[in-house]
A and B are shown apart, each in its own frame.
Chain A
Amino acid sequence: MAGEHDVVVLGAGMHPWGKWGRDFTEYGMVAARAALADAGVTWRDIQYVAGADTIRNGYPGFVSGATFAQKLGWTGGRVSSSYAACASGASALHAARSEILAGFCDVALVIGADTTPKGFFAPVGGERRTDPDWLRFHLIGATNPVYFALNARRRMDLYGATADDFAAVKVKNSRHGAHNPNARYRTEVDAAAVLNSPVVADPLRLLDICATSDGAAAVVVASQDYARHRLGTLDGAVRVRAVSTVTPTYPQARLELPDFATDSTAVLPAPALGFKDSIAAAAYDEAGLGPDDLSCAEVYDLSTALELDWYEHIGLCGEGEAEGLLRSGATALGGRIPVNPSGGLASFGEAIPAQAIAQVCELTWQLRGQAGARQVEGATSGLTINQGLFGHGSSVILTR
């Protein structure tokens, strides 16, 4: 399966997720070196660095492409630095792919790394009374889990989801993550542990909500010509078939982080595809594939309940059917369509600029058959999806 707009993933590398509070570039360098080694290229070979930014680590985080180019040693190559909140990694991959497909470069490094504070994500400092992200904390105390909880409550009241269903997502992902050397949490969690953890934002409990972590991920992507030259053949190569970075279509009628209100449906009706649906739809359209073609998926389980939302948004089942799909075992390793074989955010915690790239690393290893005890047998295609604050879609489809 191939398309002229495919680029090839030559290498993938990560620094394990954890909580150490060290300089984020330390983690990034480990991931970069690992991706370069995996690709069989040297730093000198890289013509373009696409950095995914972090906003909590000072100026170097805002210019991550240049930060890592300098750390690796200036070579005169070109750089970009992308910020799209949780979608930053996909934006960086999009930038690298565009440069390659435009013929401006042959091989690029995509990299993201973060060091995160403890506890709730809070807005960046200062009193900023015109910044909605500052105001939602000040006026309402609307933390990120508040928004996760609003969605979880709708699953319960409209579709009959239960706290047991949410716990089952955590149990599944912890079982997957126990086999992942890059995961922060590698202990299997049982349902009782989830159900006995304290409520943070009703109905979500502490173990329903992902932690914030330090971590780093990187991939080396190349043109098909460059990859063919390096590998001898493109047979079996992992291809990027789609990168969806769409924004919402007005009116965005579902309340989303960090907004106080939806758009108005008074004049224009809500679009047939809501934002989360449209992220996956654009990726499927670009790849010429559909949900039935997937071997596995990496979805952004900021909360257990949100993983269930994603089943529906990426078309694994109809609206209101995610709990049934989960209970059937289809989304566990060994099932029809394993979701989050990496262990997901439940096992990693969120390292914002690295997370979308880490999803691509996982699918690369799955498609190569290198995922060890968490291998999805015979995986040939996979989809990643997530959504960044302020309307950033992020979905990548990979095949071999």
Chain B
Amino acid sequence: MATTSRTAVPAADGWFTVSDRPKLLGGCCPACGTYVFPPRSGACPNPDCSSDELVPTELSSHGPIWSYTENRYAPPPPFEATDPFEPYAIAAVELVEEGLVVLGQVAKGVLAADLRIGMEMQLELDVLRRDDEHDYLVWVWAPAAPARGGA
């Protein structure tokens, strides 16, 4: 089968927008204003708030690194690792306005040695896995322009 006609779809429905300037999607409580990620419906997590509604909301797409690591061994399923396995970094990034720290893979080719706590990152999308018809996309953190560079 030809592989040129795959459709790009999110690997997690409704967790981020698919565009050139992607945004994470979270929830925001219309009553107290707190945020959640991943997005969900239902009760606000603030114990002082009795709202049962969380409204889908675009979140900040950049922020400083809270901490980071690098996987040197293939994680077990349901992660679909490449064979041979290529080490990749993972970062937890602060979304300052929303007061959230959000975990994500780091863009391919950027490893732990390229990162430091406090470094500014921005959201990008990459292919998590593919089948004959789809590219399943996931959010990744990449060093904010113009400091992008993999050693």
CB within 8 Å of B: which residues of A? 119-120, 122-123, 127, 129, 132, 134-143, 146, 149-151, 153-154, 157-158, 198-204, 250-251, 253, 255, 259-268
Contacts and interface: CB of A to CB of B under 8 A. Distances in A.
Consensus secondary structure, chain B interface: loop
B45 to A, nearest CB: 6
A266 B37 CA distance: 13
Contacts of B146: none
Given A129-B12, A139-B105, 18 more contacts: A123-B78, A132-B38, A137-B79, A140-B105, A141-B105, A146-B90, A150-B68, A157-B116, A158-B117, A198-B72, A199-B70, A201-B71, A203-B112, A251-B45, A255-B67, A255-B103, A264-B36, A266-B33
Contact of B102 (A127, A137, A146, A261): A261
B37 A261 contact: yes
A253 B98 CA distance: 12
A17 B78 CA distance: 29
B76 A122 contact: yes
A127 B98 contact: no
Contacts of B99: 251, 253, 262, 264-267
B18 interface: no
Interface of B: 11-12, 32-38, 45-48, 66-81, 88-90, 92, 97-105, 112, 116-117, 128, 138
22 contacts: A120-B73, A132-B38, A136-B103, A139-B11, A139-B105, A140-B103, A140-B104, A141-B105, A143-B75, A153-B67, A154-B66, A157-B117, A200-B72, A202-B69, A202-B112, A204-B69, A260-B37, A261-B102, A261-B103, A263-B36, A264-B34, A264-B99
Contacts of B103: 136, 140, 142, 255, 259-261
Give the 7 A-B CB pairs with smallest separation, nearest first: A265-B99, A141-B75, A149-B69, A202-B70, A122-B76, A266-B99, A150-B67
Contacts of A151: 67
Consensus secondary structure, chain A interface: loop
Among B12, B103, B117, the one with the most A-chain Cβ atoms within 10 Å of its Cβ is B103
B9 to A, nearest CB: 13
B146 to A, nearest CB: 23
Nearest to B75: A141
B79 A138 contact: yes
Contact of A122 (B33, B70, B77): B77
Given A154-B117, A267-B34, A201 B92 contact: no
Contacts of B12: 129, 135, 139
B35 A140 contact: no
A250 B138 CA distance: 28
Contact of B38 (A141, A149, A204, A260): A260
B68 A153 contact: yes
A127 B48 contact: no
